[in-house]
Amino acid sequence: AHGIWFNDEELKLLKETDTGVSHCPTSNMRLGSGIARIREMVDMGIRVGLGVDGSASNDTSDMLGEVRNAMLSQRVKYGSAGLTAREALYLATRGGAELLHLEKLGYIEEGMGADLALFNLNTLQYAGSLSDPLAALVFTGYNHEADYTIVNGKMVVRKGKLVDIDEEELTWKVNTISKKILESS
């Protein structure tokens, strides 16, 4: 799964057995688990995808936040050679698809699965950083709400709002259930 404490022999075994790793840096940081050797895994050709883990150890499930934390944690471990913004985003897209052997996902091309998230970079949080829009998305801003999200060709978020779900009602239901769980424990 997270692969925090793999030694050199175990990394070789991952490569030899074509075993991939789901890197969940926010969970690892929250739990104080350590920093995985992702730079080395990528360089060895080990399949690495990016995940958010679960709500018990990652409260936001913010994939762009995960991309940012993957990049920054690798830079803490390896310096500026850790991961670039593009490499970290690759782990969240193509890397995840490759990890799960989903050949029709992870990139934009005719005939592929249409899963897209679109972000408005013409906002104050991104002001002055648009010379490299991809790096701006990863390095700057903390509000990673997509303006538009398309899943398998279907629009699920339009202008920042869920299309087929009443967000107020859903929030109320989740809070009600959470309160009942807390009261019963």
Whether the model clears a pTM of 0.85, i.e. scores above it, the answer is yes
Residues of the chain above pLDDT 70, percent:
98
Could you confirm whether domain 115-180 is CATH 3.40.50.2300?
Answer: no
Give the domain ranges of the chain: 1-108, 115-180
Is the pLDDT confidence value at 19 over 90?
yes
Q: Looking at residue 1, what is its pLDDT?
A: 65
Q: Looking at residue 56, what is its pLDDT?
A: 67
Task: Categorize the per-residue pLDDT at 182 as very low, low, confident or very high, splitting at 50, 70 and 90.
Answer: very high
Q: 18 - beta bridge partners? A: none
Of 29-38, 39-48, 65-74, 118-127, least confident by mean pLDDT is 118-127
Query: Out of 3.20.20.140, 3.40.50.150, 3.90.950.20, 3.40.190.10, which CATH number does the structure's domain 1-108 have?
Result: 3.20.20.140
Domains 1-108 and 115-180 share a fold: no
pLDDT, one tens digit per residue, over 139-157 is 887 778 899 999 988 999 9
Q: What is the mean pLDDT of residues 74-79?
A: 97
Distance of alpha carbon 52 from alpha carbon 31, whole angstroms: 13
Q: What is the mean pLDDT of residues 134-143?
A: 85
Q: What is the mean pLDDT of residues 13-38?
A: 94
Question: What is the overall mean pLDDT for the chain?
Answer: 91
Task: Categorize the per-residue pLDDT at 179 as very low, low, confident or very high, splitting at 50, 70 and 90.
Answer: very high
